[in-house]
Structure 1
Amino acid sequence: MSVTQIKLRKSQEEAFAELRRHDHAILNAPTGWGKSMVLCALAGDDLLSGTERKVVIAIPQTVIAKGFIHDVSIKLPTGEMLDWAVKHNLCNYIRNKTEELSQFLTEPAKDKKIFNRIIVTTHAGLARTFSSLSDKQLAEATKNTTFLIDESHHISGADESCNQLGAIVNYILDIDNPTTTTRLILATAFFFRGDQLPIITESHLDRFYRHSIQFDKYWRSLKHIKSYKYDFVAFKGTVWKSLNQLLAQDQTPTIIYCPPKNHRLLLGKEKSDFTKRIVRTIKKHYPESELWSADSDNEGRIILDLVDGDHRDEKIKFAMTQGEQIDVILTVGMFKEGADWLQAQRVIDLVPSGSDQDRNQRFGRLIRDYPGKEHISYFSFFSVITDAPKDEQRKYLSKLFAHFHASLILDNALNPIKMPKYYDDGHFEGGSQGRPVNLLGQYDEDLQESILSDCYDAMISLFADCEQQNRKPSDTEAKNAIVRALKNFDIEQEEQTAKQIVLMIRRKANITLAVDDLVNSGFDKVWSDDTLKGLQLFSAGFGGPTRFAELRKIISGIFDSNWLGNYEKIKSLPACPPQSSKAYWWISNNKAFYRDGRLSKERIHLLESIPWWEWFKKYDDRWQEYFNEIKAYKHYPTKLSKALENWTGKQRLIYSAGKLSQDRIELLESISWWQWKPDRWHRNYESVRVLKKRPFPKTDKKSTNWFYQQRVAYHRGNLSVEKIKLLEAIIWWTWG
């Protein structure tokens, strides 16, 4: 059997040459550019450098594995030929995936063959395995290992929002040993999360080399696609009339994003009923198409229904291998990242997401270059706002249009959002203390989307009303609008839930470069368009490289014209502002310009005149700052900030792995209360000791449980004399 030979394109060779020089690197490239092939080349280059080296490739969904599981011969820019094959594919249906990955990570490479030293797993599989390893095994797992994390926007490594994947990245980055042999390469199309939380902290980000392929530069390299449209379709009540008119215009290969279970568009019907009606509508305009069936040979024109979860893997495989036969794909959540249907030329989005990440990923399904595919179209459906003038709707859609384009071509344009915290007494506020609110978490994902969709409509209507009065809605008005929308659902704690949703929705379009500035400076593109008869369409017409160039020029002009004004505001601050502020985004952009050599000497001089200004903080300085904060505690701390709690945990983890330097060990042991294995009993004791009276379940369930546990241990004779004396020293303590 012949093996396909692949040579990297020029832009891929340039990325390879830069990325291979760094142990920590980020590849930021648009959908369809070829990130997977560059990652394979980097992995192979590492494997060829030594027979002890192993490579772990982590992906979010099994469907993406196809980009890495193939037998090809890659000509590396170094001149070497790489015979790429993967033996350990944990994305197949095999048992004991955690056990196999654990064994792969903790044991030395078994042989010199490259295919035996590569393993492909999911993000969840990697997180599950890491959590099962002991400290000693963790140290082995990172030794002589290259970790390639694809679709890395799934990482949340910031202190206030760290997920399991973020914890792995933080562990790898915080191994403080100059002889470490661990490499970490992240790859993503858009370097921000859909929830606007930071992927990696600014301090960690400074340690990465970042290779970015600008979206508009990539667009100019496409051979076949020449133009695009990103339009809005207004509908009243139901989508059927507008959908029918849109499908009647032309019969290009189309992806239709359908409503999930319980969505208001279903009008109380099941998803399957909605899908059947869509199929009937499609067949009116694609008369030769038939629904894919597991019992059929599927040789003709096909409608692929991914809303129906039956035989999903077979359907996905058909889309990947027989895409030229497909006319329409119906989907709810599938066909975003990593799902390829090369022939797709149109997206009809019946339920547009409020997430920038989702919108860009859906648009990315179209940006796959393919012969004969010269034009692509994206139609975003929205319900007509009956109480707002048509021009007000147009202005709002023009802002969404500008926001979408800015999120495509700007790096780090979106503010991180800090979710509100929910305290035991029931009140909400921002900050790092408290338990993150999860009032929507009690509902399934489909119902969540329905709730947010209705609330989103309520907010748009409110904003339109207030814009007519030349004012912004108050927090109370926004909350009341959401509460009214929530009346349609059986929601407990309506007011608290409304507060959470107001924060989520009102900040979704909050880019730090104000959208109003873009629109007012000339990027006002969306107008009412009657080109397609029977449709209430808001269109910006055809776009391409010229539109992106225009947007960049406007952005650059806004940044330059506002620079001195922003500098004066920054200069007056007593210290560096928090990462969640607009001021910090402005600071980060100046640092990025400085790093790239695009900041003038005059501006460098002005910024360096700010007493607290520093270009990049060294890792040692950050370590010392955290240490000083910990040292300031005279007794074992009963409560630490999330940042300090994570930091102390990392020091103990690195110490257990034998990779903490001796001078840092001595510094930490100089703290009178420091323990390498944290004593949970004493920590709980300190939390209870400071209480003025004994705890009760309604006010402090955790302390109450611990109080009862000590009394039971006492009566069973399981408490030491020392612990008994400590407890009896609490003025309100009784043994009962």
Structure 2
Amino acid sequence: MSAVKKPVNVVNVEYAQTGNSVNTDALGMREMQQRVYAQRAAQYLLVKAPPASGKSRALMFVGLDKLYNQGRQKVIVAVPERSIGGSFANTQLTRHGFFADWEIKDEHNLCTPGSSAGKVDQFIDFLNGPDATLVCTHATLRFAYEKLPAGAFNGTVLAIDEFHHVSSDTGSNRLGELLKGVMANSDAHIVAMTGSYFRGDSVPVLSPGDEAKFTPVTFNYYDQLNGYEHLKSLGIGHHFYQGRYTSAIHEILDLNKKTILHIPNVNSGESTKDKIEEVGFILDAIGEVVSQEEDTGILQVRRKDNGEMLRVADLVDDMDQLARAETLHYLSTVASKDRDAVDVIIALGMAKEGFDWPFAEHALTVGYRASLTEVIQIIGRVTRDSPGKQHAQFTNLIAQPDATSDEVKISVNNMLKAITASLLMEQVLAPNFTFKAKTGNDDAPKPGELQIKGFKEPSSDRVKQIVATDLNDLKATVLQDETFVKQAAANADPETTNKVLIPKIIRDRYPDLDESQVEELRQQVVVDSVVKNGEVKNVGDKRFIKMQDKFVNIEELNINLIDSVNPFQRAFEVMSKSVTPGVLRIIQDTISSNRIQMTEEEAVALWPKIQQFHKVNRRRPDLRSEDQTERRLAEALLFLQKLKREREAQGGAQ
């Protein structure tokens, strides 16, 4: 293989390696687990914490306390897929100082081969029997709920792992319907756990009323990664390709790194529609397949470049279910403990949630992922602490927009959404700040605190709660808004971004807030985003923050100055430097064409003038021209191009 190219990173964060998040106390609890255990008396507990922070064991601690000290009789743990059930296997907690061990009898581990519906009788027998703990899939829980009244969950602790699978849209989400019914019609205690609270769609996980009943415990990515012993930095970036991704995979696949490679969904534009053939192309890019182990399914592949043997796991080929089950078992048992057990994992829909391969260094994902949750889950596969792993990398391999393609709009949208997902991760991975209003009679700011003139602090418990536990989720909502993304990418006026678009999104997400609360929350979003995007430097005894290529004295920060910055612009600037000028123009023109106010009659009438302009000037009219007439001709040309593409897509080419 030729020299591998480095991805263009939108995010590159370094951490302090304090060891705090992985060290344990006298009860065997990590920092995050201590925070959760402190709230163990809550009836409804919502735990937001990143992958590898120890959510599974946190649930064990809380569940056992509720069994021994709070009068609960049963603990039911529901996971989204069978492979995650292993996270809740028997665990000797007393060895590390806790008062009881976590035990699951074989007959109460329902995350075994077989249909989810077929295990409902075992679930019901458990509820009626003497034993206290059970693990099942979300599907088994849903099927059981269809046969049981909500009152059957009286006396239980219901723990739902990967809680973002729930939706407040109970008409189309059966897990959400179950949760609502159990909360309304039983005395069940609920522990909800997730590493990424926001869903891929715009539907909230919980309604505001139900969410208010939960006691939240938040442990963010910065807390987690800053407290590791080994991992020092994380990069999140992109690599753009033209044509088929299979001909470009060798440009970015670094075989010297332990890699999880996710190929695109077969329904996406990046897919060749033949997933088996795609795996073949990837294997060809690596080298020569020499053999396959019968007992593990692992492929032995000799590298093209240096002749070394690599161990590759193919989780895409599902023709032999038994063989794939053996490979998964090998990955979850041997490969999770032995660094040399596997080098590359090729997957499609697997190896995301709950998949534990601590040695993974590079998550290479082909094609934009529609769900921000999925992006965070994939990144979580490489952010586990492991000896010898100093840097973790997530790279999104994305198709460059092509002006000759009928899918240029889709391609542009995918690129913009991939950039905004990275921008959100930058916000998630940065340290938290506390913001206070600067009045002139202030004490010296505490560590991590910034004082801002004209800043409106939260005045109600509701806004304080959103700021404390929901700010990143609100940013996710902002960055999933199509209007916002296109305005930000097109260098929208900061005042429009900050004072029109963001408040509208806040009103839609939190209809219970009045205008004063909306403004308080808007300021939190903008200030937090600007500060996290900015570079902070100490010069002597003063601190400066970089805003729009200028360093500003932090003591002189005021809300008007911050509002003059588009906080979400930097990622698009990174993108503009990593694609060719021609591709950047395609992106800008596609965005602009969606905002043009023009009738078909006017555009057709201007066509002769467009032709004349081209003949005289030997170029197309420029949308960025200072001449108003030329700009209008450029708008007409974009309008006609868009109209032609739409009609060709409908089969009515003119």
Look up the match of 1:648: none
Give the one of 369, 386, 407 matched to 2:385. 369
CA shift for structure 1 position 86: 0.2
Equivalent of 2:183 in 161, 164, 173: 173
Contact 1:71 1:85 in 2 (8 A): yes
Asked whether the equivalents of residues 298 and 327 of structure 2 are also in contact (C-alpha less than 8 Å), the reply is no
CA distance in 2, matches of 1:206, 1:373: 40
Question: Is residue 38 of structure 2 the alignment partner of residue 17 of structure 1?
Answer: yes
Name the CA distance, whole Å, in 1 between partners of 2:297 and 2:188.
Answer: 49
**What letter is aligned with 1:245?**
E
Report deviation, 1:128: 0.4
Return the offset for 1:277: 2.1
- Letter matched to residue 361 of structure 1: Q
Structure 1 letter corresponding to 2:156: T
Q: Supply the distance in 2 between the matched residues of 1:255 and 1:149 (Cα, whole angstroms).
A: 27
CA offset at residue 377 of structure 1? 1.5
1:210, 1:307 → 2: CA distance? 37
- Tell me which amino acid in the other structure corresponds to 2:31: K
CA–CA distance in structure 2, aligned partners of residues 216 and 73 of structure 1: 27
Match of 1:412 in 2: 473
Shift of 1:583: 7.7
CA deviation vs aligned residue, 1:333-362 (integer Å, no higher than 9, x gap): 101111111111112212231211111111
Q: Is the 8 A contact 1:58 1:126 kept in 2?
A: yes
* 2:66 match: 46
C-alpha distance in 2 between matches for 1:186 and 1:46: 15
In 2, are the aligned partners of 1:306 and 1:330 still within 8 Å (CA)? yes
**Separation in structure 1 between the aligned mates of residue 395 and residue 247 of structure 2, nearest angstrom:** 14
- How do 1:618-697 residues align onto structure 2 when only pairs under 5 Å count? none
- Identify if the C-alpha distance between structure 1 residues 162 and 200 changes in structure 2 by more than 3 Å, giving closer, same or farther: farther
The residue number in structure 2 matching 1:102 is 124
> Which letter maps to 1:83?
D
Give the 3 Å change call, closer, same or farther, for CA 239–217 of structure 1 in structure 2.
same
CA distance in 1, matches of 2:397, 2:299: 31
Q: Which amino acid aligns with 1:376?
A: A
Q: Distance in 1 between matches of 2:258 and 2:60?
A: 30
Q: What is the distance in 2 between the residues matched to 1:21 and 1:81?
A: 17
Query: The residue matched to 1:82 in structure 2 has which SS?
Result: coil
Cα distance in 1 for residues equivalent to 2:376 and 2:476: 17
SS in 1 for 2:480: coil
C-alpha distance in structure 2 between counterparts of 1:74 and 1:102, whole Å: 30
1:305 to 305, 311, 314: 314
Partner of 2:155: 144
Report what 1:184 is aligned to.
Answer: 190
Q: Is the 8 A contact 1:290 1:303 kept in 2?
A: no
Within 2, Cα distance between the matches of 1:31 and 1:589?
Answer: 33
Separation in 1, partners of 2:257, 2:52 = 20
The residue number in structure 2 matching 1:322 is 334
3-state secondary structure, aligned to 2:377:
helix
Cα distance between partner residues in 1 of 2:160 and 2:38: 19
1:45 counterpart SS class: helix
Percent identity between the aligned chains? Answer: 23
Report SS of the residue matched to 1:411: helix
The aligned residue for residue 612 of structure 2 is none
Question: Matched residue of 2:159: which SS?
Answer: strand
Q: Which amino acid aligns with 1:157?
A: S
Alpha-carbon spacing, 1:231–1:75, altered in 2? closer, same or farther (3 Å): same
Could you tell me how far 1:26 is from its partner in structure 2? 0.1
| Residues in 1 aligned to 2:187 and 2:421: alpha-carbon distance in whole angstroms | 45
| Structure 1 residues 390-469: aligned runs within 5 Å | 399-406=420-427, 410-413=471-474
Partner deviation per Cα, 1:682-723 (whole Å, 9 max, x = no partner): xxxxxxxxxxxxxxxxxxxxxxxxxxxxxxxxxxxxxxxxxx
1:157 maps to which residue?
Answer: 168
Q: CA deviation at 1:196?
A: 2.4
Deviations 1:606-645 (A, max 9, x none): xxxxxxxxxxxxxxxxxxxxxxxxxxxxxxxxxxxxxxxx
Counterpart of 1:355, as a letter, is S
CA contact (8 A) 1:345 1:373 kept: yes
In structure 1, the partner of 2:82 is: 62
Task: Give the direction of change, closer, same or farther, for the CA distance of 1:71–1:395 in structure 2 (3 Å limit).
Answer: closer
Question: CA offset at residue 373 of structure 1?
Answer: 0.7
Which has the higher Rg, Structure 1 or Structure 2? 1
SS in 2 for 1:195: coil
Are the counterparts in 2 of residues 346 and 376 from structure 1 also a CA contact under 8 Å? yes
Matched residues in 2 for 1:243 and 1:259: separation? 12
Once residues 57 and 423 of structure 2 are traced to their aligned partners in structure 1, the CA distance between those partners, rounded to angstroms, is 32
Q: Is the 8 A contact 1:415 1:585 kept in 2?
A: no
Change (3 A) 1:104 1:397: closer
Query: Per-residue CA shift, 1:119-177, capped at 9, x if unaligned?
Result: 111111001001112x4xx31x2211100100000001245x551111111112223xx
On the 8 A contact 1:60/1:122 being kept in 2, the answer is yes
Which consecutive residues of structure 1, in runs of 5 or more, have no partner in the other structure?
111-115, 417-506, 523-556, 571-575, 599-736
Q: Give the structure-2-normalised TM-score.
A: 0.58
CA gap of 1:203–1:588, structure 2 versus 1, over 3 A, is: farther
What SS does structure 2 have at the residue aligned with 1:174? helix
Cα contact 1:512–1:582 (8 A) shared by 2? no
**Which one-letter code corresponds to 1:304 in the other structure?**
A
How do 1:254-333 and structure 2 match up within 5 A? 254-261=259-266, 264-265=269-270, 267=272, 270-283=274-287, 291-294=292-295, 301-309=310-318, 310=320, 311-323=323-335, 324=339, 325-333=341-349
Deviations 1:390-417 (A, max 9, x none): xx9998875553244346674322577x
User: SS of the counterpart of 2:472?
Assistant: coil
Contact 1:407 1:413 in 2 (8 A): no
Query: What's the offset of the Cα at 1:370?
Result: 0.6
* Corresponding pairs, count: 434
What SS does the aligned partner of 2:236 have? strand
| Contact 2:84–2:354 (CA under 8 A) maintained in structure 1 | yes
Matched, 1:227 2:233: yes
The one-letter code sitting in structure 1 at the alignment partner of 2:275 is K
User: Which residue type is aligned with residue 163 of structure 1?
Assistant: N
Most deviating of 396-405 and 235-244: 396-405
Tell me, yes or no, if structure 1 residue 86 matches structure 2 residue 108: no
1:449-476 deviations in Å (ceiling 9; x for gaps): xxxxxxxxxxxxxxxxxxxxxxxxxxxx
Rate the CA distance shift 1:64–1:515 in 2: closer, same or farther, 3 A: farther
SS of corresponding position for 2:224? helix
1:259 deviation in Å? Answer: 3.0
Q: What TM-score do you get using the length of structure 1 for normalisation? A: 0.52
The alignment status of 1:253 with 2:258, answered yes or no, reads yes
Q: Please state how far the C-alpha of 1:97 moved relative to its aligned partner.
A: 1.1
Shift of the 587–517 alpha-carbon distance from structure 1 to 2, 3 Å rule, reads: farther
Structure 1 residues 386 and 16: CA distance shift in structure 2, 3 A:
same
SS of the aligned residue for 1:127 comes to helix
Distance 1:184 1:397, change over 3 A: closer
Q: Is the 8 A contact 1:399 1:515 kept in 2?
A: no
1:71 positional shift = 3.5
- How far apart are the structure 2 equivalents of 1:518 and 1:405? 17
Taking the aligned partners of 1:89 and 1:354, their CA distance within structure 2 comes to 33
The match for 2:352 is 336
Residue 497 of structure 1 aligns with which residue? none
* Residue of structure 1 aligned with 2:480, choices 491, 496, 509: 509
Deviation at 1:263, TM superposition (A): 5.2
Stretch deviating more after TM superposition (164-173 or 45-54):
45-54
In structure 1, what residue type is equivalent to 2:232? K
Distance 1:214 1:345 in 2: 21
Partner Cα distance (2:418, 2:145) in 1: 45
Conserved? CA contact 1:59–1:151, under 8 Å: yes
**Residue aligned with 1:101, SS:** helix
Q: Is the 8 A contact 1:257 1:349 kept in 2?
A: yes
> Aligned equivalents of 2:381 and 2:242: distance in 1?
28
Are the structure 2 counterparts of residues 101 and 350 from structure 1 closer, same or farther at C-alpha, using a change threshold of 3 Å?
Answer: same
CA distance in 2, matches of 1:227, 1:385: 31
Structure 2 CA distance for partners of 1:271 and 1:398, relative to 1, 3 Å: closer
